[in-house]
Structure 1
Amino acid sequence: MNNVIGGLLPLGLAVGLSPFPIIMVVLLLGSARPKGNGLAFLAGWVAGLLAVVGVLTLSLDAVADAGDGSPSVAVGILRLLLGVALLVMAGRKFAKRFGPPDAGGLPRWMAAAGGYSPGRSLVMGLTLSAANPKNLALTAAAGITIGAAPLNHSQEVWAAAAFLLIASLTVLLPVTGYLVAPRRADVPLQAVMAWLRVNHSIMTGLLLVVFGFVLIGNGIAGF
């Protein structure tokens, strides 16, 4: 159990350090309906992560129940594929960072966050957690780690909860900070967003390289 959680924490950290949800939650907390939008985005974010982890965990449980034991070959292949996918995404991030400069500014869907409703914020949280390729790959890796481990259902729930907590901290903390002290939270949140807008490509690329090789190594070890 401890080994599984130890393997999940870095994956959760990598998901939590994704720049787009951090920037989005800062924008939503500065919108016309900050509390409703912030809480709705947090709910969507957690729900998206939970859906991916749950599907992978239950799928691997079913494979294990139908076979003779742990589905090590299937897990190894999945990890290899996810690792390669992360390295490809890392290459794209580095190409964007060191390529020709773009026009600057936020994407249109981010720039419009000031007018979001809580419903749209909920959908955006779901999209950035479950449909974003980078987060989908990392969260799938977490689900594979849980589903492939020899855990009972109660232990799987605790392991998934640990991953969700770490992966959601960078969204949870700004929302909580705003609810407790909105005026004090504004300045540090804006500073974080400004830094991420400049450095998010290189930071994300490095994370993807590290975890891409980790997943490939774990995949090879599973054969």
Structure 2
Amino acid sequence: MNALFGELLPMILGNVLAPIWLIIVLLLLASPGGLLKAAAFVLGMTFIRVAQGLLFGALLAASSDDAAGESGLVAATLKLILGILLLIASFKKWRKEEDPDEPPPKWIQSLDQTTALKAFGLGALGIAIGPKLWAFTLSALAIINGAEIDQTSAIIAYAAYIFFAQILLILAVLFVAVAPKRSRAFLQRATAWLTTYNRPISITAALVFGLLFTWDGVNGFLNR
């Protein structure tokens, strides 16, 4: 299981190092009724990721039953696609072009007026329409499917992937729930810092992980 977690770690870090989602959660937390809205937003993200796991995990398991070793080819293909997508995203971010994985500015501006139900929908939609987020999740599922572990262990591994991919969001929500007064100043400082450095963090993370996944994908094909 430790080896499997090591393989999943790049996908987890790729999710964690996308500042925009933490910025959204922090902005929701700072808004009226923010704790409920932020929790709903994270639940919306989780809901779609669980649905992706149920659907595509079953499809990958069925395909590996039909063809031995196919999981390795699927994982290599997904990593290569993910690497290319990340390199393109890094270039677009450097050129200050719009990132299809990031929500439109109108979403950000309307967070103060959103409800918990709408926040749930925004979280779900953010995962559903993000090409790189799809590639991260499908790559994680392909790796888990190729690990040759039993179904219970596979479910635990995927649940761990979802949890750690959203760990910063969960910790932010828990911090506000446990210490609502102390968290106010922290929310302001963290939001300001992330907003200021969102672009360089996104460029660097996309470039580094783009090169990593592209290499892993090509290497997966060469070693078959």
TM-score, normalized by length of structure 1?
0.88
CA distance in 1, matches of 2:55, 2:90: 25
How far is the alpha carbon of 1:131 from its aligned partner?
Answer: 2.1
Q: 2:190 aligns with which of 172, 189, 192?
A: 192
Contact 1:12 1:163 in 2 (8 A): yes
Q: 1:83-125: CA deviations, max 9, x gaps?
A: 11111111111111xx8xxxxxx92211111111111000111
Asked whether 1:160 is paired with 2:150, we answer: no
The percent of aligned pairs where both chains have the same amino acid is 29
- In the TM superposition, what are the counterparts of 1:41-80 in structure 2 within 5 Å? 41-80=41-80
Q: 2:128 aligns with which of 121, 127, 130?
A: 130
CA distance in 1, matches of 2:34, 2:176: 9
How far is the alpha carbon of 1:58 from its aligned partner?
Answer: 2.5
Q: What's the secondary structure of 1:221's corresponding residue?
A: helix
Kindly tell me: are residues 134 and 196 of structure 1, through their superposed partners in 2, closer, same or farther at Cα, counting changes over 3 Å?
A: farther
CA distance in 2, matches of 1:68, 1:174: 43
Kindly tell me: are residues 6 and 22 of structure 1, through their superposed partners in 2, closer, same or farther at Cα, counting changes over 3 Å?
A: same
Q: What's the secondary structure of 1:183's corresponding residue?
A: coil
Give the AA of the match of 1:36. L
**Structure 1 unaligned runs (5+)?**
100-105
4+ residue stretches of structure 1 with deviation over 4 A?
A: none
Contact 2:31 2:111 in 1 (8 A): yes
Give the AA of the match of 1:87. L
How far is the alpha carbon of 1:190 from its aligned partner?
Answer: 1.5
Give the AA of the match of 1:144. A
How far is the alpha carbon of 1:32 from its aligned partner?
Answer: 2.2
Give the AA of the match of 1:196. L
Q: What's the secondary structure of 2:32's corresponding residue?
A: coil
Question: Higher mean Cα deviation, 207-216 or 118-127?
Answer: 207-216
Asked whether 1:38 is paired with 2:31, we answer: no
* Length, aligned pairs only: 215
How far is the alpha carbon of 1:16 from its aligned partner?
Answer: 2.0
Root-mean-square deviation (CA, aligned residues, Å) is 1.9
Q: 1:51-98: CA deviations, max 9, x gaps?
A: 3344443222111011134433333222212211111111111111xx
**Structure 2 unaligned runs (5+)?**
98-103
Q: 2:118 aligns with which of 117, 120, 125?
A: 120
How far is the alpha carbon of 1:7 from its aligned partner?
Answer: 1.6
CA distance in 2, matches of 1:54, 1:93: 33
Contact 1:52 1:143 in 2 (8 A): no
Give the AA of the match of 1:163. Y
How far is the alpha carbon of 1:148 from its aligned partner?
Answer: 2.5
Kindly tell me: are residues 205 and 193 of structure 1, through their superposed partners in 2, closer, same or farther at Cα, counting changes over 3 Å?
A: same
How far is the alpha carbon of 1:9 from its aligned partner?
Answer: 2.2
Contact 1:36 1:118 in 2 (8 A): yes
- In the TM superposition, what are the counterparts of 1:18-37 in structure 2 within 5 Å? 18-37=18-37
1:111 counterpart residue number: 109
Q: What's the secondary structure of 2:149's corresponding residue?
A: coil
CA distance in 2, matches of 1:164, 1:78: 18
Contact 2:71 2:143 in 1 (8 A): no
Give the AA of the match of 1:91. F
CA distance in 2, matches of 1:214, 1:135: 16
TM-score, normalized by length of structure 2?
0.87
